[in-house]
């Protein structure tokens, strides 16, 4: 049976909206690759009205179209968008898969610095409720799987870290002249201020770059570190290959795409000593872990290793990722 997939975008999101942030091309490439393997319909939140109301009503509005095409598999992100995926799955009688890119409750509580025990319990309840709307799961890391294992019980799952298209991201033969590059939201959760302070203590002046936007933009700019608020994903490699190190002192992560893309371009990762970062560096075979006190732990002396790099690239290339994903999908429509 041919797989016919409805992909539910994040609440308020669409390829068009993602393109405004520079990452839309990455998503377009992925979905174009999927279209060679299956029939695909993107459920996007592109209207100008209330996205919460839209997310509930729109599945009923497009029911005839979905039923006519006999879609047999629904995939949504966790929490935001999961209820749209659940409604569509019930209307069409299709199986619903939730893709988990991070531990939602952990990120939410850290970002908002919530300490109230009652509110924390409510957050965990809602997370459990929405995660239970699925028939299967795709996790981006073992850490995320471990966090949600008590919820998913005996339902099928697969662990698929983020992939990279090696046709677009690959190293150069030239030696990089600049030091550190950071890519991501400029918010406290991502350790932006700590990353800026690390750069000031380690790097030459005017040799590092932040790419992103957010509440801490003014603070980063006040450190006299160059900032680009938006870079088109197709142009990212040309910037990455100018730098030696990819820096992220984030307090929590899922499976960061920009980090994988930087590694594919030959950069050495310098990362906060959290589990997902430890797992990625151990998988890669080289890099630097930085704890909260600024102490460094260097794996393979923190130096690039070509053999380890090649093994990592082969493991996380897009074609292998999509092949594993398709095999998982077949469990639900065969």
State both tokens at 137. 């799961």
pLDDT of residue 53: 85
pLDDT of residue 115: 87
Specify the CATH class of 178-316 in words: alpha beta
Q: Do domains 4-163+318-333 and 178-316 have the same CATH topology?
A: yes
- 280-331 pLDDT, tens per residue? 999 999 999 999 999 999 999 999 999 999 999 999 999 899 999 999 999 9
What residue spans define the domains of the chain? 4-163+318-333, 178-316
- 262-279 pLDDT, tens per residue? 999 999 999 999 999 999
Q: What is the pTM of this model?
A: 0.91
CATH code for the part of the protein at 4-163+318-333: 3.40.50.2000
pLDDT of residue 13: 78
Which residues of the chain, if any, have pLDDT below 50?
A: none
What CA–CA distances, in Å, run from 313 to 61, 309, 321?
43, 6, 11
Residue 152's contacts (CB-CB under 8 Å, 6 or more residues apart) are 131, 134, 137
Strand pairing category for 157-159 and 178-183: unpaired
């Amino acid at each position: 049976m041919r797989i016919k997939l409805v992909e539910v975008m994040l609440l308020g999101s669409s390829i068009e909206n993602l393109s405004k942030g520079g990452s839309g091309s990455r998503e377009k490439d992925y979905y174009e690759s999927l279209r060679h393997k299956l029939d695909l319909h993107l459920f996007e939140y592109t209207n100008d009205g209330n996205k919460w109301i839209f997310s509930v009503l729109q599945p009923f509005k497009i029911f005839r179209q979905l039923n006519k095409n006999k879609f047999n598999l629904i995939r949504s992100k966790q929490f935001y968008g999961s209820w749209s995926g659940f409604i569509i799955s019930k209307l069409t009688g299709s199986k619903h898969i939730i893709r988990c890119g991070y531990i939602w409750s952990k990120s939410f509580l850290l970002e908002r610095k919530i300490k109230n025990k009652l509110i924390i319990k409510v957050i965990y309840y809602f997370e459990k409720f929405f995660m239970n709307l699925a028939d299967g799961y795709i996790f981006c890391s073992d850490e995320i799987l471990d966090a949600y294992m008590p919820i998913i019980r005996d339902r099928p799952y697969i662990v698929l870290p983020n992939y990279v298209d090696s046709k677009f991201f690959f190293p150069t033969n030239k030696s990089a002249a600049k030091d550190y590059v950071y890519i991501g939201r400029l918010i406290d959760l991502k350790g932006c201020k700590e990353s800026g302070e690390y750069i000031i203590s380690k790097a030459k002046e005017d040799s590092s770059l932040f790419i992103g936007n957010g509440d801490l933009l003014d603070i980063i700019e006040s450190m006299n570190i160059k900032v680009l608020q938006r870079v088109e994903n197709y142009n990212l490699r040309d910037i990455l290959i100018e730098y030696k190190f990819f820096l992220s002192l984030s307090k929590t992560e899922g499976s960061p795409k920009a980090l994988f893309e930087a590694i594919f371009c030959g950069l050495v990762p310098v990362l906060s000593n959290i589990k997902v970062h430890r797992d990625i560096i151990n998988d890669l075979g080289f890099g630097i872990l930085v704890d909260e006190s600024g102490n460094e732990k260097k794996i393979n002396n923190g130096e690039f290793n070509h053999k380890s790099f090649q093994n990592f690239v082969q493991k996380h290339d897009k074609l292998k990722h999509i092949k594993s994903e398709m095999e998982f999908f077949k469990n639900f429509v065969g």
